[in-house]
Amino acid sequence: MRIILMGLIVLPFAMSAQTKLPDETALDKFLRYVKVDTQSQEDSQDYPSTAKQLNLANMLVQELKDLGLQDARVDKYGYVMATLPANLPKNHEAFGKVPQIGFISHMDTSPDVSGTNVKAQVIKKYDGKDIVLPGDPSIVIRTSENPELAKNIGKTIVTSDGTTLLGADDKAGIAAIMSAVQTLVRNPKFLHGEIKIGFTPDEEVGRGTDYFDIKAFGADFAYTVDGGTTGELNKETFSANAATITVHGRDIHPGTAKGIMVNSIRVMADIIARLPKNIAPETTEGYEPYIHPEKIDGATVKSSVKFLLRDFETEGLKNLEQMLRGIISEVEKLHPKARIELEIKESYRNMRYDVEKEPRLLTAMWEATRRAGVEPFWKPIRGGTDGSRLTEKGLLTPNLFTGGENYHSRTEWVSVYGMEKSAETIVNLVQVWVELAGGK
């Protein structure tokens, strides 16, 4: 039987007279944030898609103000923004030369799994075995499926109780950013330029940057803190399109249907059956593209399926689209009385095309991770981030790790070591930018 223990790690910071908050660890912060239900909703016409996201937004604004960031605010769309002023002395060689650097995480959790009443389980000195979650023993975090667990033996990890997701995506990122802000505020020896903080709603439903005001944010460059495995750095994402196939059939009473009925569900089944099995999320990895039937809605008279088209090369999306068109053409010959429509919408594009144009952006994050005592490595994101769209809009925004794993599921977990190293990397990163601006 596994014993779940609560463990807190105390950082060696003294209470600052200029702030109102007591010292907290990244874990302290994370455990508070996951208690706030911020699940977003795909079919909502509101922005943010759920009002409860504002509960965390308002909490973060107050915490930022208590840390001394007096311009902290939340706008009508639910975006939290704040500024930590530069602390460089006027005689410093980098004074006036350091770019304004932003750090961004999203507040919402996946609409696919409940985020209500999260019961976090803090496991100290993890023993390396499978973890049976106490709220639902059928939910097991298996070592065979989680190689990162082996790297956390003897360390502290956090899971949910198995009845909900945990919320590490992306409250681990928020905790890392807020811990870094706390460290910088209370340790003025860490020299830095002006730092911009941003927390966004609705990333999980693909709308996280719809109303993000880049000019108001004020950063020259930014980093999303929304990654996974400790040390993982991301400078490239999928390029993505959404495809919707709609089949129009004809309904009539089944008793008199011969020669008249056109069952759109059968037509759609023939389309899905012809999808290449080797170009699916469950059969691909690394840089391999996929076509993913994500959502289906159907009745005899009309059926529709939403597909995700993903490829790291934007040109490759055309190949995936042509595959769908070829399948439709083939199925139309089998069902000449059915009408089949295909709609393609652009989702986001690989940020690599732009972020690699600014080498300092990537050099700084690599060096900052290395200084945190973590071996950095580049890994392509088989998905997208707020950074994908922000980069496309002109704010170059690669992605930093948080230590989280198994996102969007009840087996989600986070390495406290990884979360702490993420915060340390942020602190290092702003100092590296000072060095780069000073010519080092």
pLDDT computed for residue 78 by the predictor: 97
What is the rounded average pLDDT of the residues 259-282?
Answer: 97
Residues in the chain: 440
Q: Has residue 356 got a pLDDT over 90? A: yes
- In this structure, whether the domain defined by 26-236+350-437 belongs to CATH 3.20.20.70 is answered with no
Q: Has residue 249 got a pLDDT over 90? A: yes
Q: Has residue 58 got a pLDDT over 80? A: yes
Give the active site residue among 63, 108, 194, 226.
Answer: 108
Specify the residue for token string 């390495």: 415
Tell me the C-alpha distance between 154 and 152, whole Å.
6
pLDDT computed for residue 26 by the predictor: 97
**Tens of pLDDT along 152-185?**
999 999 999 999 999 999 999 999 999 999 999 9
pLDDT grade, residue 23 (50/70/90)?
Answer: confident
- Fold of the domain built from segment(s) 239-348: Alpha-Beta Plaits (3.30.70)
What is the rounded average pLDDT of the residues 140-161?
Answer: 98
Q: Has residue 5 got a pLDDT over 50? A: no
Residue at 293: amino acid letter: P
Tell me the C-alpha distance between 226 and 229, whole Å.
10
What is the rounded average pLDDT of the residues 142-149?
Answer: 97
Q: Has residue 16 got a pLDDT over 90? A: no
Q: Has residue 308 got a pLDDT over 90? A: yes
Shortest CA distance to 243 belongs to which of 341, 153, 316? 341
Give the active site residue among 63, 161, 203, 420.
Answer: 203
pLDDT computed for residue 9 by the predictor: 31
What is the rounded average pLDDT of the residues 57-69?
Answer: 97
**Tens of pLDDT along 71-93?**
999 999 999 999 999 999 999 99
Q: Where are the domains of the chain?
A: 26-236+350-437, 239-348
pLDDT grade, residue 20 (50/70/90)?
Answer: low
**Catalytic-residue membership of 203:** yes
Query: How far apart, in Å, are the Cα atoms of 418 and each of 41, 144, 324, 369, 370?
Result: 29, 20, 41, 11, 13
Q: Has residue 34 got a pLDDT over 50? A: yes
Fold agreement between 26-236+350-437 and 239-348: no
Question: Quick one: what percent of the chain has pLDDT higher than 90?
Answer: 92
Shortest CA distance to 61 belongs to which of 34, 81, 76? 81
237, 350 Cβ separation under 8 angstroms: yes
Tell me the C-alpha distance between 108 and 111, whole Å.
9
pLDDT computed for residue 385 by the predictor: 86
pLDDT grade, residue 438 (50/70/90)?
Answer: confident
pTM for this entry: 0.88
Tell me the C-alpha distance between 57 and 199, whole Å.
8
pLDDT grade, residue 367 (50/70/90)?
Answer: very high
Tell me the β-bridge partners of 159.
121, 413
Pairing of strands 80-84, 73-74: antiparallel
Q: Has residue 4 got a pLDDT over 50? A: no
Q: Has residue 387 got a pLDDT over 70? A: yes
User: Which range, of 4-8, 267-271, 329-333, 371-375, averages the lowest pLDDT?
Assistant: 4-8
Please count the other Cβ atoms lying within 10 Å of the Cβ belonging to residue 401.
30
Residue 200 has φ and ψ, to the nearest 5°, of -115, 150
pLDDT grade, residue 3 (50/70/90)?
Answer: very low
pLDDT grade, residue 19 (50/70/90)?
Answer: low
pLDDT grade, residue 24 (50/70/90)?
Answer: very high
Find the helix or strand (DSSP H, E) in which 415 lies. strand 413-415
Pairing of strands 290-298, 302-311: antiparallel
**Catalytic-residue membership of 297:** no
pLDDT grade, residue 14 (50/70/90)?
Answer: very low
**Tens of pLDDT along 187-214?**
999 999 999 999 999 999 989 999 999 9
Q: Taking every pair of C-alpha atoms in the chain, what is the biggest distance, in angstroms?
A: 89
